[in-house]
A and B are shown apart, each in its own frame.
Chain A
Amino acid sequence: MGILNNAFPSNAVTDAVDGAIGWGRKSSIWPMTFGIACCAIEMMAVYAATFDLDRYGAGVPRATPRQSDLIIVPGTVNAKMAVRVKRLYDQMAEPRYVIAMGACVCGGGPYVKWGYNTVKGVHKIIPVDIFVPGCPPRPEALMDGILKLREKVSKDDVFRRRQHANGEMTAKYEAV
C-alpha cells in the first residue's frame, strides 16, 4: 500500500476499504516462532490444543520473520540477544506488530536490579504494540493481549498510515 499512502483525502470510500482490510488483517495475524525463555513455554501452550490460538487465525507460526506479521517476544532480552531481536524486527515487512510478553520484556522483570547485561524492557530496542505482564503470563493473558492486538489492527489506517516512531530507526549499529 506504499504507493497509495496518503494519496487520497479523507472520505468514506477509503474508510470502508480500511475496515475491510482491517478485518482481513486481524483475522490472519501470523506470528513468528520465536521463543527466548520461560514465557515461550506458555506461548507454546497457547498454540497447543487446550488454549488453541488457531481459532483467531493466528495459529500458523512462520519460522522466518520475512513472512510473519507479529513477533511475540517472550523472555528476557540481554545485550547479546538484543542485536538479534532488532535484526529480526528489521527483517519483518510492514505492517508488523510486536507483543512484549512477560515481565522481563515489559520492564526488566526479576532481573531489573542486579542484571548487568539484561535490557530492562524490549521497548528500548523495538517499538512495542501490546505489553502482556506476568511471570509468566497465563495463556489466557496472552490471548487477551492478542485480542487487544486484533482490535488495534482492525482500526489501523491503511491508506493514511501514520509513520511509526520507527521511521528513523535503521540498523545503525553493528551486530557482534
Chain B
Amino acid sequence: MEALEMYTTDDRSDVYTEELKLNLGPQHPSTHGVLRVELKMDGEVITQSRCDIGYLHRCAEKIGENVSYLQFTPYTDRMDYLASMNNNLAWSLTVEKMLDLEVPERAQWLRMICCELNRIASHLIAFGTYGIDIGANTPFFYAFRDREKIMALLERPSGTRMLYNYIQPGGLRRDVDDNWVDDVLTFCGEFEKAWVEYNTLLSHNRIFIGRTANIGIIPREMALDFGLSGPVLRASGVKWDLRRDVPYLAPYDEVDFEVPIGEGTYGTLGDCWDRYWVRMREMMESIRIIRQGCAKLPGGEVMTKKQKSMYKTPMKPGPGHAYMRCENPRGELGFYVVSEGGASPIRNRTRAPSFCNLAVLDQLLPGTMLGDAVAIIGSLDIVLGEVDR
C-alpha cells in the first residue's frame, strides 16, 4: 500500500508527457469504409482530429459529364451502396424534373415501397455494424439475417441483390411479379417480431447505453450550421423529414407515418444513443409505410410511353439547371444538374448526406476518448462511397 501511495500523485509537474499522433487509418475495422482520421491525443483523450477522405474517390462527377442521363443511373447506385433504390430515385426525379416527365401512379407507389424496404436494409446495417463498433458481435448476424430477406425481395424485380439500377427516369425498369406484394407483407410480419429481438439485444443494454449516452452531443444550432440531415439532424430535436416537409413523391402524402426525433432518453439530446434510436424507430415507421403502400397499390403501367421510346434515343433536356432532393436513409441526397441541351449534362453534382454529416466530426471528437471516437463515427452512419463519390 505504501508503494502505491508513493506512485500516486496529483501533481504532474514531474511527469513527462508527449502528444501522441495516432492514425485511425483507412484500413480499420470500425471506420465504416476507408476513412482516415488523424488524431492528436493526450494519453487516452483526443485533443485534435482531422478527417482525411478521398480514398474512394471514383470520379463520379466527371463520369456524369460524359455519359448519358440513363447511363448514369448505375453510378448513382454505387455512391451510397447501402441505399441504392433511394439514390436511383433521387437521380430519376432530377431527370424527370428537367424533362417534365410524368411517372405512372403504380410506378410511384412501387418506388415508395422499394425505397422504404431499402431504408430498412440500410438501417439494419447501421444497427449491426454499430454493435460491432461497440463490441457486441451478435446483432450483426441478426441484422444480416433480415437483410437477406429484403435483398431476396428486391432481387425479384431488379435482378440483383445490391446496386439495383431499378428506378429509372420515367418509372421502373420492369414490374414486380404476382406474389411479390404478399411476400412483402409476410416479411413485414416477421420483421416486427425481429425488431423486438433487436431491442432486447442492444437498445436498452446497460453497456450499450454506457458507451453511447452523453457521447458526441450535437446541439441543434451546430446541426443547422453544418447542414446536417437525416437521423443525425432529427436526433438533435429538429423535426425535419423531406418525405413530409418537401414532398418529392406523391404517395408519401397519402400514407400515415410519424417522424421520430431524439428526446434525450438516456442522456443529453443529440447524443449517439438518440441517433441510434431514431434509426430503430424509423425502421418501424417504414414497415407502417410499406403496409399501407401494399394495401393501396394501384394497377397499371410502370414506365411512361415517352420514356420507353427514349431507350432508343438519348434524353436531351433543354438548357437550364435543376436541383432535386430526397430523403436517403443517411439524410438529404440531392442532385444538381446543369444542362446545355446535350445528351449529357455539363455539370453533374451530388449533394451527398454523408459528406455533409462527416464535416461535423472534427468538432465532435476533441475532448473524447478513443473508444468514444469509434462510437461517434458509427453513430453518424457514413458511407464512404457517398462521401468521396
Contacts and interface: CB of A to CB of B under 8 A. Distances in A.
* Chain A directly contacts chain B within the complex, with at least one CB pair under 8 Å: yes
Interface of A: 32-38, 40-42, 44-45, 48-50, 63, 65, 75-76, 78, 80-81, 84, 88, 110-111, 114-118, 135-136, 138
Contacts of B62: 114-116
A45 B147 CA distance: 9
Interface of B: 25-29, 33-34, 54-59, 62-63, 66-67, 74-75, 78, 81-82, 125, 140-141, 144-145, 147-148, 161-163, 384-385
B66 A63 contact: no
Contact of A45 (B54, B67, B78, B144): B144
Contacts of A49: 141, 144-145
Contacts of A65: 27
A115 B25 CA distance: 24
* 7 residue pairs, one from A and one from B, having the closest CB atoms: A48-B144, A38-B81, A114-B63, A81-B55, A115-B59, A49-B141, A33-B29
Given A84-B27, A110-B74, A44 B59 contact: no
Given A42-B161, A110-B74, A75 B145 contact: no
A78 B144 CA distance: 29
B243 to A, nearest CB: 25
Contacts of A88: 27
Given A35-B33, A115-B58, A117-B57, A110 B144 contact: no
A44 B57 contact: no
Contacts of B141: 48-49
A54 to B, nearest CB: 11
Given A78-B56, A81-B55, 6 more contacts: A36-B33, A37-B58, A111-B58, A111-B63, A114-B62, A117-B59
Nearest to A134: B160
A110 B78 contact: yes
B56 A76 contact: yes
19 contacts: A32-B27, A33-B29, A37-B384, A38-B78, A38-B385, A41-B81, A45-B147, A45-B148, A48-B140, A50-B148, A63-B28, A65-B27, A80-B57, A81-B56, A88-B27, A110-B74, A114-B63, A115-B62, A115-B63
B78 A36 contact: no
Contact of B26 (A32, A33, A81, A114): A81
A136 B162 CA distance: 7
Nearest to B77: A38
A88 B26 CA distance: 11
B284 to A, nearest CB: 23
A111 B61 CA distance: 12
Contact of B162 (A32, A41, A76): A41
B78 A37 contact: yes
Given A84-B26, A110-B75, A136-B162, A37 B385 contact: yes
Contacts of B63: 111, 114-115
